[in-house]
Amino acid sequence: MKRLASVPPLLDIIHSATEPIITIDEQQLIVMFNPAAERVFLYRADQAIGSRLEILIPARFRAIHAQHVDRFAHTGLSDRKMGLGAPLWGLRANGEEFPMEASISQTRTDAGVFLSIFLRDITERQRIDQALRASRDELTRLSNALLHVREQEKKHIARELHDDLGQSLTALTMELSQLESGLPPDNAPLRERVDDMRRLIKITFASLRRIASDLRPVMLDDLGLAAAIEWLVSNFVSRYGIDTDARIDIGPAEPSKQVATTLFRVVQEALTNIAKHAQATEVRIELSCTATHCSLTVQDNGVGDAPASLARKLPLSLGLQGIRERVRLLNGDVNITTRKKEGFRLEVSLPAQPALPLWEAP
């Protein structure tokens, strides 16, 4: 090994290391135990030196560990991670166990073969990992609950609109007919006003039905995903006059209710976005489901968006983020491909029957 004359002696470096370093001989007796090892294992060096390495290992791992070290001593390899990815366990003098990572290296001298073990106490890292996992799970549960509440609320509003306002409008039409029958036959101006009112009620009825269907299309529940998407598409075409080619192949098995609602909401948001942002003249929708998998693409030939500008907008908008969130909850993926003046392509792929907590009442 090359080194400059001004480098400090190696033992000083080992002494001041912040991670435990332990050297053992061929009999697995500890011959060197640095201060960091004293702090982690709670043994003084003079207690540890001369003892077997196994005092630092929980009893249940001792046999396998001894074999492991022994095998290593005979392989001649100079550096090797121990534990094969899974954390190893250390044992402090007070009986406490802790997770650690270790690597091991071998030195052959005239006095024999020595193994040095470089350790890292990963208790804190594992604690943080667990806390992170727990808070991610918590967030997923929260999103689930939110989606559930939103869908329920939409269903509720749709029903209220239909049942409550719908009833009132029907009653109003009947009242109007009665009023009309009591009108003198020769009063044309009054009859015309009644006709106007009837037309207005009809228009209000149509808007009400449209709003209720947008909130929660009954056909999604009654006729299934393909019919519901065809309905969305024909509404889109008649509202905005944009040429739309929809290829829908659901196959024999209807995807699960959450998947169907999610795909429906994705198409709904994608079409709304096209109407709002794209200035497109052509839209192509492809949806295909097998028994296990659904994939959906909505592509337009509109103005598109620069990826950097889209990345800036996404955290502030609800539409595409909402899609991402819904699809992620069902273990699916969302892919957006767009460039300025090159259209917008939204791809969603997800399992057809994900085994997940229900966020929508069956």
Residues that bind ligand ATP (CB under 6 A): 273-274, 276-278, 300, 302-305, 310, 313, 317-321, 344
Please state, in angstroms and rounded to a whole number, the distance separating the CA atoms of residues 82 and 123: 17
Q: Compute the least distance from the CB of residue 232 to ligand ATP, in Å.
A: 15
Q: What is the C-alpha R_g of the chain? A: 35
For Mg ion, which stretch binds (CB under 5 A), given 52-60, 143-151, 268-276, 334-342? 268-276
Q: Compute the least distance from the CB of residue 60 to ligand ATP, in Å.
A: 53
Burial of 256 (0-12, 13-18, 19+ CB in 10 A): buried
Q: Which stretch of DSSP H or E encloses residue 331? A: none
- Partner in contact with 232, chosen from Mg ion, ligand ATP, none, beta carbon below 5 to 8 Å by kind: none
- Partner in contact with 151, chosen from Mg ion, ligand ATP, none, beta carbon below 5 to 8 Å by kind: none
Using Cβ positions, the residue closest to Mg ion within the complex turns out to be: 319
Q: Which stretch of DSSP H or E encloses residue 26? A: none
Q: Contacts with Mg ion: how many residues (CB under 5 A)?
A: 2
- Partner in contact with 305, chosen from ligand ATP, Mg ion, none, beta carbon below 5 to 8 Å by kind: ligand ATP
| Range 299-358, binding Mg ion (CB under 5 A) | 319
Q: Compute the least distance from the CB of residue 246 to ligand ATP, in Å.
A: 16
Strands of 254-338 (E only): list them.
282-289, 293-300, 333-338
Q: 267: which DSSP letter?
A: H
Q: Which stretch of DSSP H or E encloses residue 221? A: helix 218-222
Please state, in angstroms and rounded to a whole number, the distance separating the CA atoms of residues 155 and 161: 10
Q: Compute the least distance from the CB of residue 200 to ligand ATP, in Å.
A: 30
Q: Compute the least distance from the CB of residue 342 to ligand ATP, in Å.
A: 10
Q: Rule CB under 5 A: choose which of 244, 262, 273, 301 binds Mg ion.
A: 273
Residues 6+ apart with CB under 8 A from 158: 212, 213, 215, 216
With binding defined as CB under 5 A, does residue 268 bind Mg ion? no
Residue 140 phi/psi, 5° resolution? -60, -45
Look at residues 217, 149, 148, 130 and name the one whose alpha carbon lies nearest to residue 356.
148
- Partner in contact with 101, chosen from Mg ion, ligand ATP, none, beta carbon below 5 to 8 Å by kind: none
For Mg ion, which stretch binds (CB under 5 A), given 67-75, 90-98, 265-273, 325-333? 265-273
Would you say 197 or 303 has its CB closer to ligand ATP?
303
